[in-house]
Amino acid sequence: MNLSNGARALYTAYQSGVLRPSQVVANALAAARLGEPGLFLCITQERALQEARASDARWDAGQPLGPLDGVPVVWKDLFDVQGTPTTAASATRRNAAPALHDAATVQRLAACGCISLGKVGLTEFAYSGLGLNPHFGTPINRASMDGHRAPGGSSSGSAVAVAAGIACIGMGTDTGGSVRVPAAFNGLVGFKPSIGHFDKRGLFPLSETLDVPGPIANTVQDCAWVDAALRGAALQPLVAGAVAGMSFVVPTNLMFDGIEPEVHAAFDLLVQRLRAAGAQVRFEAFPAVDAFTALTARHGTIAAAEAYVWHQELVDGPLAQAIDRRVLLRLARGKTMTALDVLTLQAARVRLVRECAAQLGDAWMLSPTVVHVAPLVAPLEADDALFHSTNLRTLQNTLPGNFLDLCGVSLPMGTGAAGMPVGALISGAAGREEALLAAAAGVEQL
């Protein structure tokens, strides 16, 4: 069974007896074993089969653990999964010692009956929005019809495994767009919570300050169930918010710079549909976004500083030559940052988070997730300057949300050039995750 209809459809199939978890998992493992470069870095077959048998028994007894019982999930290889190495998709970590314990997020989803299929690929050390990886391979974007297009990053494998119908849920992380971008590039839903919303224990870091775990799935409902599971809350059906009466604010600064015409057209159509459904949509500048852009241009980024500190021995040691040259360049930028740069960014961030939240109030920020469709891989591989400029453009609309601590959901909103998916990003102030998911579900119905 293809899992593109999401966990809700799978739950219904289990309830009716049409399917059993062991059947679904056997098919998923068979697909995982096909060996597509860069997709599965580690298949946890024994664990998956054991978890499937346990789920079978619960369903047979009429006592499932809830709507996620028997649902296949994959993990970006930054999450510790007991008995497997956490490689961060780096050649320097191929021989890393196996994790002794599951990450907190892995434990939580297992407790709800989710079945872990294995670890999937990503950009090395999670440091790019495009998803390319020269060491383990770059997963194939399933929507591409004219050549190998980027899967989006850094949570590339998490998105592709869901788009391929192998898993219902692809767990990723988002530091500058790494859940929302691959969701947009693959026509999926990606949910980024605000900082501290989920437990990060057992997660290999890029930026201790900005990293957040988040799911990529086919529906907002699936993301909402994952959200509840990771918070230890009851897994209830999501009640979609009424679009009539919702208020959206579209930033007039930054978010449309360099946008492709087809992406702009899809976004304009979304705005028209929202207004026709009774929503209020207004366009205004966000000073906090301009301030973020100016700060990073002058001082660099918090992620660069923290990533360099974490990887300093590698970057300054003999193994540096084993790192993807494009990732190494970004890591090394943190080396040039001063204490003044870092402290200035941290202090400004506290103020700007507050100012942005005040401007939004109960409204939702609305923008394209990415201003272009997934680019072809070959030109990016051939030209490092093109790679870096494209990467910055890819992350243009998502980076401010991490710095400003916004929660966000990327939704499919149609197609752009070459028939590739494009996404709409709905964001809200920190702590409004439940309301955001309900609002996103309402928009999803349009």
Instruction: Please list, in sequence order, all residues whose beta carbon lies within 8 angstroms of the beta carbon of residue 168, skipping any fewer than 6 positions away.
Output: 3, 6, 7, 10, 71, 72, 73, 162, 217, 218, 222
φ, ψ of residue 387 to 5 degrees: the values are -55, -50
Whether 16 sits among the annotated catalytic residues: the reply is no
Question: Active site residue: 116, 128, 144, 154, which one?
Answer: 154
Q: Is residue 169 within 8 Å of residue 73, measured between CB atoms? A: yes
Quote the tokens at residue 425.
């990003």
> Which residue type does 128 have?
S
How many C-beta neighbours within 10 Å does residue 256 have?
18
How many C-beta neighbours within 10 Å does residue 288 have?
26
Quote the tokens at residue 43.
């298949």
Question: Active site residue: 55, 128, 144, 178, which one?
Answer: 178
Q: Is residue 192 within 8 Å of residue 174, measured between CB atoms? A: yes
Whether 192 sits among the annotated catalytic residues: the reply is no
Instruction: Compute the Cα dihedral for 85, 20, 113, 237 and give only its sign.
Output: positive
> Which residue type does 32 have?
A
Query: Own/partner pairs for 82-85, CB < 8 Å, 24+ apart?
Result: 82/106, 83/44, 83/47, 84/42, 84/44, 84/118, 84/119, 85/42
Whether 154 sits among the annotated catalytic residues: the reply is yes
DSSP assignment string, 335-366: GG--HHHHHHHHHHHHHHHHHHHHHHTTSEEE
Cα–Cα distance between 268 and 42 in angstroms, integer? 42
Quote the tokens at residue 375.
């680019």
Question: Active site residue: 76, 119, 192, 200, which one?
Answer: 76
Nearest alpha-carbon partner for 9 in 30, 29, 24: 24
Cα–Cα distance between 419 and 102 in angstroms, integer? 39
Instruction: Please list, in sequence order, all residues whose beta carbon lies within 8 angstroms of the beta carbon of residue 205, skipping any fewer than 6 positions away.
Output: 211, 306, 310
Q: Which residues are catalytic?
A: 76, 154, 178
